[in-house]
Chains A and B, each alone.
Chain A
Amino acid sequence: MPELDPGTPRPSRRTMLKGAAGVGAAGLAASALASVALPAAASIKSPVRTTRGPAGEGAGDQAIVVHVRDAASGEIDVFRGTTQIRMHDRDLAARLVRASR
């Protein structure tokens, strides 16, 4: 499909890396979080799904990776295959932060 207007410019790799390091939160593989229960669907606010790349290709490992972008606001990114879901859950974020210590 031809290119869609992506809206605002996206952050650079460096910005993303800086951001990941700067929030003081945890980016954790889900396998390390077996003891942390996922919240009920009702507690997930404003999930945003983004996908780039060819469907079904490049998915590679189907590990689920969770990145707590901002523990205070509960902003969490969940990566799987070639997808990324943005969710907001302060309780889950807080539990992930506790589990990471």
Chain B
Amino acid sequence: MSSHREAPEISKDPVADSTDLYAFVSPDKPGMVTIIANYIPLQGAAGGPNFYEFGDDVIYDIKIDTFGNSKWDINYQFRFSTELGNPETFLYNTGPITSLTSPNWNRRQVYSVTRIDGAGEHVLGKNLACPPCNIGPLSTPSYATKLAAPAVHTLGDGSKVFAGQRAEGFYVDLGSIFDLGNLRPFQNLNVFGKAEGLSAAAGVNATKLLNVHSIAIQVPIGRVTRKGRPIIGVWTTASRQRVRILDPEAGKVITSGPFEQVSRLGNPLVNEVVIAMGDKDKWNSQRPHNDSQFTHYFAHPELAALLPVLYPGVFPNLAALVASKKPRVDLEAVLLTGVPSGIIPGFSTFTGTVQADLLRLNTSIPPSHSPNVLGVLGGDLAGFPNGRRVFDDVVSVELRAVAGATYPLIDPTFTPDAAAGELTDGLTPASLGMPFLDHFPYLGVPFDGYDDPAS
């Protein structure tokens, strides 16, 4: 998926597993940037009695490069703490949770937000309440208004913050993609699908009815940009202490040592489908400004070579490009340095020559009044890869880019295959089954465990 369970090690540590990162100029508040970092993938809504929560032993960071050197100079750091009201019951709640202070809510989390920048560390908020997970209509009535909305906090610097469960916003037909790249709308052309006599079909969203945990912050643009430099690079990391010991005599887990990065995420799908299995864990441990060690994966992506094999005769121009062994400078630009000005009229996300997987956002481009889920590829300069909005169809965008749709940006003589402009897994935001919000924190109300699944 975007970055859900994308590497062997982190797939065993969901609490620290970053799944999606979004950064966009807020459509309802165009003077504010919203950044959302999602963690804890694939949450079944009924997953009790120990419902999902952030790790008290994990440091969650949202890092921002405003200089263009691919190192962070602003970091919003989140630390969580779990509070247990009554250890004598197995229940998450002993009655309806009607407010964030309800005595019926037995296990809750609070958190602190610290901004670290050139002037030092600034605690912007502490003991901020997370909402409960959405249990069901009896346990968490009026969830959106009584529990989620009050969990949006305003910080001392005017920023807004939210941390807690939301509906998954990333849509993808995992079942088809990992079944030998058999994109359902094109499975009649897939070498294996064709052999089975399959017909083209609509996509099936694998993340439907699932939730995720979001850390969302909305900040005035001026707080995260430097004068004259409207383009920022954003990424999220999760870190754990180097040592963890199970102490059965003390009945607790001992952690010790410096915090070590175990997960990171900038652009969607990079570690998922660009980085090879043998380097995925290393990728998660590295800092973005060291990403030149991975350039070969972007220059010669495995997926670009696979598409002509999986879809014989459909991608002849891509096959020729792959055979030429020319580096995919287009992908390197989009994902590792940003797109320089002068290539797409009125558009740039270029942050400098240091290759780094950052989600780059040009904050000088206003939100679109008629957004296109294909973002820049669909002519909407306010969308991915200019940052990423919650509804952007990053699967289709990256499939098309890898298939050659963006190669003419650096070689106008190249003609992409017709299929490159059509590739999709057949999904839209409607496939999620839960609408996005038109305001912070934008991701939809989490599915509740009583109704989802309902049968």
Q: Which of A's residues lie within 8 Å of B, judged by CB?
A: 1-3, 5-6, 9-16, 27, 29, 50-54, 57-58, 60-61, 63-65, 67, 79-84
A3-B71, A9-B290, A63-B245 known; A79-B256 Cβ under 8 A:
yes
Selecting from B72-80, B142-150, B151-159, B295-303, the interface stretch reads B72-80
Query: What is the CA–CA distance of A37 and B114 in the complex, to the nearest angstrom?
Result: 40
- For A29, what are the chain B residues with a Cβ–Cβ distance below 8 Å? 245, 247, 254
CB distance from A96 to the nearest CB of B (A): 16
Contact of B255 with A50 in the complex, beta carbons under 8 Å? no
Query: What is the CA–CA distance of A65 and B120 in the complex, to the nearest angstrom?
Result: 30
- For B117, what are the chain A residues with a Cβ–Cβ distance below 8 Å? 2
Query: What is the CA–CA distance of A63 and B256 in the complex, to the nearest angstrom?
Result: 7
Q: Which residue of B lies closest to A80 (CB)?
A: B256
Query: What is the CA–CA distance of A41 and B307 in the complex, to the nearest angstrom?
Result: 62
The 9 closest A-B CB pairs, nearest first, are: A79-B257, A53-B259, A2-B73, A3-B71, A52-B258, A79-B256, A12-B285, A12-B282, A14-B281
Q: Is B260 an interface residue (CB 8 A)?
A: yes
Query: What is the CA–CA distance of A84 and B243 in the complex, to the nearest angstrom?
Result: 10
Contact of B245 with A82 in the complex, beta carbons under 8 Å? no
Q: Which residue of B lies closest to A14 (CB)?
A: B281
CB distance from A60 to the nearest CB of B (A): 5
Q: Is B48 an interface residue (CB 8 A)?
A: no
Q: Is B408 an interface residue (CB 8 A)?
A: no
- Give the most central of A16, A29, A60: most B CB within 10 Å: A60
- For B72, what are the chain A residues with a Cβ–Cβ distance below 8 Å? 2-3
- For A9, what are the chain B residues with a Cβ–Cβ distance below 8 Å? 282, 285-287, 290, 293
Q: Is B364 an interface residue (CB 8 A)?
A: no
- For B286, what are the chain A residues with a Cβ–Cβ distance below 8 Å? 9-10
Task: Known A-B contacts: A2-B73, A29-B254, A83-B258. Give 4 more (CB < 8 A).
Answer: A2-B74, A27-B243, A58-B241, A65-B245
Contact of A82 with B257 in the complex, beta carbons under 8 Å? yes
Could you tell me how many residues of chain B have their Cβ less than 8 Å away from some Cβ of chain A?
A: 41
Q: Interface majority SS on A: helix, strand, loop or mixed?
A: loop
- For B255, what are the chain A residues with a Cβ–Cβ distance below 8 Å? 60-61
Query: What is the CA–CA distance of A43 and B254 in the complex, to the nearest angstrom?
Result: 28
- For B2, what are the chain A residues with a Cβ–Cβ distance below 8 Å? none
Q: Which residue of B lies closest to A49 (CB)?
A: B258
CB distance from A56 to the nearest CB of B (A): 10
Contact of B258 with A84 in the complex, beta carbons under 8 Å? yes
Contact of A58 with B259 in the complex, beta carbons under 8 Å? yes
A9-B293, A84-B242 known; A58-B285 Cβ under 8 A:
no
Contact of B254 with A60 in the complex, beta carbons under 8 Å? yes
Q: Is B231 an interface residue (CB 8 A)?
A: no
Residue in B71, B73, B74, B285 whose CB lies within 8 Å of A10: B285
- For B256, what are the chain A residues with a Cβ–Cβ distance below 8 Å? 60-61, 63-65, 79-81
Q: Is B422 an interface residue (CB 8 A)?
A: no
Per the 8 Å Cβ criterion, residues 238-275 of B in contact with A are: 239, 241-243, 245, 247, 252, 254-260, 262
Can you list 12 residue pairs at the A/B interface with Cβ under 8 Å?
A2-B117, A2-B118, A10-B286, A13-B284, A16-B260, A29-B254, A53-B241, A58-B57, A58-B59, A79-B243, A79-B256, A79-B257
Residue in A1, A13, A51, A64 whose CB lies within 8 Å of B120: A1
- For A53, what are the chain B residues with a Cβ–Cβ distance below 8 Å? 59, 239, 241, 258-259
Query: What is the CA–CA distance of A11 and B255 in the complex, to the nearest angstrom?
Result: 19
Query: What is the CA–CA distance of A83 and B241 in the complex, to the nearest angstrom?
Result: 10
CB distance from B398 to the nearest CB of A (A): 25
- For A52, what are the chain B residues with a Cβ–Cβ distance below 8 Å? 239, 258-260
Q: Is B116 an interface residue (CB 8 A)?
A: yes
CB distance from A53 to the nearest CB of B (A): 4
CB distance from A64 to the nearest CB of B (A): 8
Q: Which residue of A lies closest to B112 (CB)?
A: A57
- For A84, what are the chain B residues with a Cβ–Cβ distance below 8 Å? 242, 257-258
Contact of A14 with B259 in the complex, beta carbons under 8 Å? no
A13-B262, A83-B258 known; A1-B118 Cβ under 8 A:
yes
Q: Which residue of B lies closest to A59 (CB)?
A: B256
Per the 8 Å Cβ criterion, residues 102-135 of B in contact with A are: 114, 116-118, 120-121
Query: What is the CA–CA distance of A64 and B254 in the complex, to the nearest angstrom?
Result: 10
